[in-house]
């Protein structure tokens, strides 16, 4: 007598994930991003070649140093500085219109805390920048003036 083989039909795949993927592809297509991504993928070798030609070791080293400095940023402090920059962008053109104020008028403005605080921050930033610029360069061959 023959033995019966056990067969369990496979469970149908979860159609919810497929529907979400289809929805994502449709949204990318509607926004025009799917065409841009496809074009970028097709021209990837050309883009990479262009990037490698335009980026030298010094530029790459500078980018790494700047990105390392960005990791030290405090989000709350950065937001305060950005808010101050937005206010300065609005106030500076107004202040620059007409005749520039004289020394007495500028001195009169310094009686308020906000201009003194801004001046103190600018001086502290300039001092830190000057200190960093005055530091000895790392040892190694001087690329600009080979010996």
pLDDT digits (tens, 9 = 90+) for 50-68: 888 888 888 888 888 888 8
Q: Within a 13 Å sphere around the CA of 6, how many CA atoms are in the beta-carbon half?
A: 0
Q: Which residues of 37-50 are buried (b: 16+ CB within 10 A; e: fewer)?
A: eeeeeeeeeeeeee
Asked if the model's pLDDT at residue 125 lies above 70, the reply is: yes
pTM for the predicted model, two decimal places: 0.45
pLDDT digits (tens, 9 = 90+) for 130-146: 998 888 765 555 555 44
SS3 state of residue 128 = helix
Take residue 67 and report the two structure tokens written for it.
């990105």
pLDDT digits (tens, 9 = 90+) for 11-61: 776 778 888 888 899 999 999 999 999 998 899 899 888 888 888 888 888
pLDDT digits (tens, 9 = 90+) for 64-90: 888 888 888 888 988 998 999 999 999
DSSP code at position 80: H
Phi, psi of 96 (to 5 degrees): -85, -10
């Amino acid at each position: 007598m023959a033995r019966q083989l056990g067969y369990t039909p496979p469970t149908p795949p979860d159609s919810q994930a497929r529907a979400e993927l289809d929805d994502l592809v449709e949204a990318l297509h509607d926004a025009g991003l799917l065409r841009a991504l496809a074009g970028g993928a097709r021209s990837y070798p050309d883009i990479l070649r262009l990037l490698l030609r335009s980026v030298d070791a010094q530029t790459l080293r500078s980018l790494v140093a700047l990105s390392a400095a960005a990791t030290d940023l405090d989000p709350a402090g950065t937001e305060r500085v950005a808010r101050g920059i937005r206010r300065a962008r609005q106030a500076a053109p107004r202040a620059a219109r007409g005749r520039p104020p004289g020394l007495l008028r500028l001195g009169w403005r310094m009686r308020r805390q906000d201009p003194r605080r801004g001046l103190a921050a600018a001086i502290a930033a300039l001092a830190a920048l000057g200190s960093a610029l005055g530091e000895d360069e790392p040892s190694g061959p001087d690329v600009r003036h080979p010996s």
